[in-house]
Structure formats: structure tokens, C-alpha cells
Amino acid sequence: MKTAVEELSPTRVKLTVEVPFEELEPSLQAAYKKVAQQVRVPGFRPGKVPARIIEQRFGRAVVLEETLNDALPKLYGQAVDEIDLFPVSTPDIEVTRIDDGAQVEFTAEVDIRPAFDVPDYTGAEIVVDPAEVSDADIDAQLEGLRQRFATLTGVDRPAGRGDYVVMDLRAEIDGKNLEEQQAADVSYEVGAGSVLQGLDDALEGLGAGEEKTFSTTLVGGENAGEEADVIINVKSVKEKVLPELDDEFAQLASEFDTLEELRGSIREQSRRNKLIDQVVQAREKAVEALLDSIDIPLPESALKAELDARKHNLEHQIQESGLSKEAYFRLYQTTEEERFAEFAENSALALKSGFVLDKIVKAEDIGVSEQELTNFVVRRAQQLGVAPNTLAQHLADNDQLTLAMMEIVREKAKTVVGDAAKVTDTEGNEVDLKAIYAELNPEQDGAPETVPAP
């Protein structure tokens, strides 16, 4: 097999492949067997029709077509491997010549990863946040604990911001009650920011047993986007009561006997989290600096696929939310145009990052061990809330193990780039990543495959 490469652009090539007919022999024999199973010829059992009879009755062209359907994808893959291309799209294949018994020629146009060199990233100067834990950090986490252990106590007064109400809601358009736009015994924190515009303002100042009507735009259901009157009936008002910060609270909220012991534990965990943040920041910023130092043309088809995938996920999220598009974007304080512009920027960045990291993976000969793959599946299963075996089976059944391994090696490439940088914090102190690895993972030698979760 001979392959010639013509560069159509920095991101697209045309392969012209010449294949001696003898290399098609396995596919030719497979084609005869397949056709023999499909045709019915009097005097022969299915699958037992001789080749010469098939050609006499149905023509040689039928067999050749089946042969090429089987052989071309394999031959294309072989050609790509031999000339060391990195395709990023489905090829457009066309058979250009068939000399039966002698030679077949076909062309394949395909988008590829562009050729480029990775600049030297050693010594890149990166600045990260400091790892010092302040009293304010401790107080903020203690306040979060207090919020988790808060209790709700009924009050005989109008509702205010931060109070919780239990209410019934219904909606009307031109005096007609909307069955699907009503709910009973809804618990809601006043001021939380409902997608139902006007709800917070309407609730403020209402006491138990009081009713109020306000106009708003419906955000879900058949009448989404229409103006309606919403009637709310407050059934109870409760205020949040936070526990006192004392030894009794420490015993309630943790395994410690005293508040001082609890503060010490929070300080230790906070420092660990800040060290992890330093590692993550160093890697991400080092890769970002590397990407900023190189200009790479991006294949349009790959960029479109990346962008379309993000748009599809957004559509799915909107459908799952049950909200109208307008309400969904209002909830996240953005617009469809802004989100699409963000997608376009992030898609280009993700594609460029993948190209660069893959180059580093190859240059550093980075691989994936069985244990690393197992650890990845376990971590991802924990994030998704499923059993590791279930996720592993899903990845195998959907041919996604290769994608999982790609994600692992790219993360390891980020570690290589981060470790090569000169890292300091915003206070001017040198940050020794290897010392952080040793503190976070004393049982491991060198950098961990991934930093522990905070």
C-alpha cells in the first residue's frame, strides 16, 4: 500500500492511497460469504452459493462493493498510522480507481491536528494564592457549620428577609385558575431569589394567615412566558435560630469535646485545602501561560463539534429544569447570546489545550497504569453518586475507556507543566510543589497522579 499526502490547509489533508489487489483478499473472501448468506439461489443452501455463481447471477460489482465497504475503513486507519497523522474528524472517502485484480485507489480528506512545536515551559513564573489560614477563614467555616445546625422557630410577626414561610401558591390568567400552576405547603426562604419574579417582595411583610396577589411572568409549564396573577397564602412564618458557639455546639457538630479542638481541626483542614488549591492553581496557570505563548490553527469541524456538544448540554439542562429559556437565563443572570459567546471561547480553549497536552503526553511518554484507571473510576463514581463497578461497566459498554485514559494522561501532563514552573504566592513566598505533595501524600513518592479532593 502506498500513501501520498497533500496538505489542503494547516488543519486539513487529502490522502491518496493505492492498494494492491492482493491486500484486499481477506475482505474479498468475507464479501463472498456475506453475499452468499443474503442471496437465494435454487439448488444451493443459504451461505453455500459458490463465488462463480454469485458473479454469474448478481455480477462482480456487488462483491467488489461489499469488499470495499469492509476494507476501506481498515486501509484508511492503516494509512493514517503509517504517516503519523492525528485525525480529528470523520474522513470523506472516495474510491477513484478500481483495476479489478490489480489495484484500487481511494482518496480521503480529513481534518487533522495541526503541526506545531511546544515551546519550552520550564521556569514559567506563576503566582498562586497563599496557604496561610487566618482567623477569618476559621470563623467563616464555623459560621457555615452553625447554618447547617440551625433550627427554625415559629414567630408571630410578618416575614422578613432570611425568614422561612410555608405557603400555598396558585396562578390565574384573566381570572381563570391554572391547574398546573399551583402548589401547597411550599417551604421557602424569603429573599432566596426565586425565578418567580416578585415573589420575595410580595412575601415581605406578610404574616401567617395573610394572602397577597402579585403579577409576574410564568417561568414553566404550558403558560411559560405569559403574564399571570399569582396568589400566595402564608400559612406560617419561622425564623432561623443559630446555635451558640461553645463546647456544646462542638460536641453536636463534630467528634470533638471542645470548641478549641474543633477550631484546631478546621484550621488543619483549611490549610490542607489551601495547599491543594495552590497545586491546582499552579497547574492550571502554568498550562494557561503555555497556551498563551503559542498560536495554533484549529480545525473548523472539531471546533464546531465541541461547540455543538456544549449547546446540546445546555438545551438538556434547560429541559430538565422545567423552566422556559428566558427564566433559565434570568436565574443564572445571563443571556443566551452571552452563554453562546462563552461556549465559543471555551470550546477553542479546550481544543487548543487538548492538542498541546497530547503533544506533552507523547513527548514525555506518559501512560496509564491499571491502578490509575481504577482510581479514576472510583473518584468519578463518587462524584456521580454511583457504584464504581456500575460506572466501569458503563464506560466499557459505551467505548469510553479510551476517553477516560485520555483524561488521565492529560491531567498528568498538566502536572508536568506545573512542576516545571517557578511558583510563588501573592506574598512573594516560594511555593515548593514537591514539598506540598509530600505533606498531602506522605505515603507516596513524588507527585501524586491527582491531588486529593478538598
pLDDT of residue 448: 55
Instruction: Look up residue 141 and give its amino acid.
Output: Q
Share of the chain above pLDDT 90, in %: 69
pLDDT at 54 over 90: no
Confidence of residue 48 (pLDDT cuts 50, 70, 90): low
Query: Where are the strands (E) in 330-395, listed by range?
Result: none
Long-range contacts of 319-326 (CB under 8 A, 24+ apart): 322/220, 322/221, 323/195, 323/219, 323/220, 323/224, 324/218, 324/219, 324/220, 324/224, 324/225, 326/217, 326/219, 326/225
Mean per-residue pLDDT, 394-422:
93
Residue (of 256, 317, 307, 272) closest to 451 by Cα position:
272
Average confidence score pLDDT of the chain: 89
| Residue pair 257/109 in contact by the 8 Å Cβ criterion | no
pLDDT of residue 27: 86
pTM of the model: 0.79
pLDDT at 137 over 80: yes
pLDDT of residue 445: 56
The string of DSSP letters for 320-337 reads HHTB-HHHHHHHTT--HH
Q: Buried (b) or exposed (e) across 269-305, using 16+ Cβ within 10 A?
A: ebebbbbbbbbbbbbebbbeebbeeeebebbeebbeb
pLDDT of residue 452: 53
Q: 412: which residues sit within 8 A by CB, 6+ positions away?
A: 361, 366, 449
Adjacent-strand bridge partners of 6: 14
Mean per-residue pLDDT, 47-63:
67
pLDDT digits (tens, 9 = 90+) for 410-428: 999 999 999 999 999 999 9
pLDDT at 15 over 90: yes
Cell numbers at residue 69, please?
A: 465497504
Adjacent-strand bridge partners of 186: 167
pLDDT at 57 over 70: no
